[in-house]
């Protein structure tokens, strides 16, 4: 057993410590840099080369035709289609409720000084839809539906050529305007810079592998991005009331995503921590996805015993987990003390899987501690809140003297003249958006 110190100095004790994750970032960075440069230089020809190299397909036309989109939808199992539409309806409803909280603003803090902002949808976004081991139909729902609700002008979806046809159907049902069979770092580069076939977008959203993530990092600035996502994460906070079987089940449900998934329990009850570790091993015995989940658990699983709830909360805020479940006697009271997380699941009935699939909140969330400074993907990620101002003569009289003096003290004569000119002319230049 090792001992470490949480962010606020409270003592915590590891019953199981994770490995340090070393992902070989320098090699990935160099590879992606070459791909991005090739796509910028050679356009669609580079996309065809990389599709042949990495996806083993000979493809010249990347866009999925409307006929093929309709065929993909028609080939969906009826229950799968109904469940997808159920998820779309719930994500749509929650996104609309969120958008209703982002309001235009017009105020007059000083007589004649009118300030405000408008909520403007982004013109064109690119949604990267990962292929992965399984056809994750929730992925296009989470990236495309909020964009539709926000009023984005055009939604471009890219997914790897080998992705299941159901994923094409998911993109279509979610509302993608155009769908391209194009994956990897080359898809990110194409959406960032544009090619003859792929239109350049204003912002790229959606998760992907390490190469996709690195490509998003490299093209940021040319386009906006939602976030840099690492391996998926789930942590559970629990006291002595925790249910070892339920906690172990939830940890393994996330661990089966990827061998680098981070899963953890932070508890004030040592016996519960030991029981969860034993239960995880028991459940791995008959879990069909154990090959993936076991490696994630063995390498990146973490179980921490904290001396009291203060230490548990402090350590949780230090981790800032992507998904954070609260299984305590008063889950709402514990939840109210937490500040750093991607999405919070309060009480034993709120499983991560419900949000991952269909309950309405977005599953594209901050990882690697980014929950300390940002939230996840939401309808607000697809709009710009842009300010404006207009002044009349009274407003100029109120603010010009201070602006003139400040400009003079800073030695900015051009600024001073611009601030003084309107006073000298005696006009406010009143206008309105």
For the annotated catalytic residues, the residue numbers are: 322-323
What is d(CA 40, CA 156) in angstroms, rounded to the nearest whole number?
18
What are the residues whose beta carbons fall under 8 Å from the beta carbon of 393, sequence distance 6 or more? Answer: 112, 426, 427, 428, 430
Angle separating helix axes 244-255 and 270-284, nearest 10 degrees: 50
Would you say 411 and 375 are in contact if contact means Cβ atoms under 8 Å apart?
A: no
What is the secondary structure of 29-49 as a DSSP string? HHHHHHHHHHHHHHTHHHHHH
| 3-state SS assignment for residue 295 | helix
Structure tokens at 405: 């003096």
Strand partners, 304: 14, 266
What is d(CA 341, CA 95) in angstroms, rounded to the nearest whole number?
20
The candidate with the shortest Cα–Cα distance to 35, out of 178, 157, 190, 172, is 190
Q: What is the DSSP letter of 197?
A: S
What are the residues whose beta carbons fall under 8 Å from the beta carbon of 338, sequence distance 6 or more? Answer: 237, 313, 316, 317, 324, 326, 344
What are the residues whose beta carbons fall under 8 Å from the beta carbon of 119, sequence distance 6 or more? Answer: 102, 103, 104, 383, 384, 385
């Amino acid at each position: 057993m090792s001992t470490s110190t949480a962010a606020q100095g409270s003592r915590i004790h590891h019953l199981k410590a994770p490995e340090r994750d070393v992902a070989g970032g320098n090699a990935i960075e160099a590879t992606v840099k070459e791909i991005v440069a090739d796509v910028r230089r050679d356009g669609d020809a580079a996309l065809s080369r990389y599709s042949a190299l990495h996806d083993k397909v000979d493809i010249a036309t990347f866009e999925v035709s409307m006929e093929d989109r309709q065929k993909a939808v028609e080939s969906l199992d009826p229950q799968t289609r109904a469940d997808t539409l159920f998820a779309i309806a719930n994500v749509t409803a929650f996104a609309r409720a969120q958008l209703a909280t982002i309001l235009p603003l017009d105020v007059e803090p000083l007589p004649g000084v009118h300030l405000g902002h408008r909520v403007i949808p982004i013109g064109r976004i690119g949604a990267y839809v990962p292929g992965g081991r399984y056809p994750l139909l929730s992925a296009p729902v989470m990236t495309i539906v909020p964009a539709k609700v926000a009023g984005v002008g055009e939604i471009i979806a890219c997914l790897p050529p080998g992705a299941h046809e159901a994923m094409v159907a998911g993109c279509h049902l979610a509302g993608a305007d155009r769908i391209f069979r194009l994956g990897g770092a080359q898809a990110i580069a194409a959406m960032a810079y544009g090619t003859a076939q792929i239109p350049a977008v204003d912002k790229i959203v959606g998760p992907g592998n390490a190469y996709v993530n690195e490509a998003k990092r490299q093209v940021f600035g040319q386009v906006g991005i939602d976030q840099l996502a690492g391996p998926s994460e789930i942590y559970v906070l629990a006291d002595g009331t925790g249910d070892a079987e339920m906690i172990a089940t939830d940890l393994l449900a996330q661990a089966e995503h990827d061998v680098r998934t981070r899963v953890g329990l932070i508890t004030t009850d040592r016996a519960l921590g030991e029981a969860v570790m034993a239960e995880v091993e028991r459940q791995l015995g008959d879990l069909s996805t154990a090959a993936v989940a076991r490696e994630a658990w063995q390498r990146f699983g973490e179980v921490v015993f904290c001396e009291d709830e203060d230490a548990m909360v402090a350590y949780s805020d230090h981790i800032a987990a992507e998904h954070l479940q609260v299984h305590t006697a008063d889950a709402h009271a514990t939840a109210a003390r937490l500040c750093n997380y991607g999405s919070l699941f309060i009480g034993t009935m709120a499983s991560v899987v419900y949000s991952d699939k269909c309950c309405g909140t977005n599953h594209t969330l901050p990882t690697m501690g980014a929950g300390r400074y940002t939230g996840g993907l939401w309808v607000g990620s697809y709009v710009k809140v842009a300010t404006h101002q207009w002044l009349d003569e009274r407003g100029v009289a109120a603010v010009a003297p201070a602006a003139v003096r400040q400009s003079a003290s800073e030695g900015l004569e051009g600024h001073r003249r611009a601030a003084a000119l309107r006073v000298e002319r005696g006009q406010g230049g009143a206008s309105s958006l």
